[in-house]
Homo-oligomer: A and B are copies of this chain.
């Protein structure tokens, strides 16, 4: 299990390969990658604020919960903070299991909890100024299924 919170960019493909190479006997690997997207057009960039100290602890707790709920060989979370541009990779999750159902379920669980329970806040910068991204009701509702 590896949790990384960093400002620097990272190479999601290289991380996926390194994660897969270290697995031993797990045949199924699921990854999720979140990219900065320019929904309305005109996005100049994104700034992600976080809560140093709590962030790492909250993500580690979510990962440990996933490891107890599903039969996983390994789990990885990398999440950036600071200034990002459209198209940049914000974060990734990877999970590994023997059978694909565990890896898929655990990755979805990790994403649902990271969205609403890890202390990150996104601010978008456009030509019209800055704005904090509002939490979506669907994201909060998604937690009820676990």
Q: Name A's B-contacting residues (CB within 8 A).
A: 11-17, 20-21, 23, 25-39, 87, 89, 98-101, 103-104, 107-108, 111, 138, 142
Contacts of A14 in B (CB 8 A): 13
Whether B33 pairs with A20 at a CB distance below 8 angstroms is yes
Tell me the bound Cα distance from A37 to B36 in angstroms.
Answer: 34
A13-B17, A104-B107, A111-B100 known; A28+B39 contact, CB < 8 A:
no
Whether B12 pairs with A25 at a CB distance below 8 angstroms is no
Pull 16 A–B residue pairs with CB atoms less than 8 Å apart, ordered by A: A11-B17, A13-B13, A16-B31, A16-B33, A20-B35, A27-B34, A27-B36, A27-B37, A28-B32, A29-B32, A30-B30, A31-B31, A32-B100, A32-B103, A99-B138, A101-B142
Contact of A20 among B20, B23, B89, B138 (CB under 8 A): B89
Contact of A38 among B11, B17, B25 (CB under 8 A): B25
Contacts of A36 in B (CB 8 A): 27
Contacts of A104 in B (CB 8 A): 32, 104, 107-108, 111
Contacts of A21 in B (CB 8 A): 87
Whether B30 pairs with A35 at a CB distance below 8 angstroms is no
Q: Nearest Cβ distance between residue A116 and chain B, in whole angstroms?
A: 12
Q: Counting chain B CB atoms within 10 Å of each CB, which of A98, A100, A142 scores highest?
A: A100
Contacts of A111 in B (CB 8 A): 100, 104
